[in-house]
Amino acid sequence: MRGIFVTGTDTDAGKTLVCAALLAGAPLAWRYWKPVQTGLADDAGDTATVRRLARLSADRAPDVGVRLGPPVSPHFAAHQAGQTIEIAALAETAGQALGEEDFAVVEGAGGLLAPLNDRHTMLDLARALGLPVLVVVRARLGAINHALLTERVLRQSGVPALGFVLSGAADPSLTSALAAHARLPVLGRLPECPPNTPLAAYGEALRLALLEHLP
């Protein structure tokens, strides 16, 4: 599988909006997939959001995988539903939903170490899919620590990492800290976007930066 695995420093870091921007105006071979989605009891889910914001047809954003109602960690939502999330099953679903010629933008749930079951985390899923990781960092208090910890986990795990995308307001504290302490580059920033903001221009800039760093 070709593509990237999009993770965040934590929940609501801006992963879905970054994914939508990357897909807005992208070549037809670019597709979006969310392997694990919780919170569907109260929300339509991230696949619906990306379809709407990036104006994607259903076949370019297949809504398949683990789908759970409670807005809690995947491992706990699955436990409440009497299920166990298995990485092998998700990898098989990926093979069915995404073609070999596709470029997959795969969005994780929560942060990199969000548990899927009693043994595995989102990091293990990224490794199983064989995709390099893009880290979305929300500009807010605590983001520096979360970003550097995420980078360290990626480096120690051996899973390839591409860089950071910042989301939200410009934050000189965050950017200066990452410049001084991080090894990964900052590939771009997606500012606060009012509803119905066209994302294609932001997406083109992010795609160009991303393609320069793909292995």
Residue from 15, 31, 34, 138 carrying the catalytic annotation? 34
Q: What DSSP line would sit under the chain, residue for residue?
A: -EEEEEEESSTTSSHHHHHHHHHTT--TTEEEE-SEE--TTTS--HHHHHHHHHT--GGGS---SEE-SSSS-HHHHHHHTT----HHHHHHHHHHHS-TT-EEEEEEEEETT-BSSSS-BHHHHHHHHT--EEEEEE-STTHHHHHHHHHHHHHHHT--EEEEEEESS--HHHHHHHHHH-SSPEEEEE----TT---HHHHHHHHHHHHHH--
Tell me if residue 34 is catalytic: yes
Residue among 204, 211, 213, 160 at smallest CA distance from 185: 213
- Catalytic residue numbers? 34
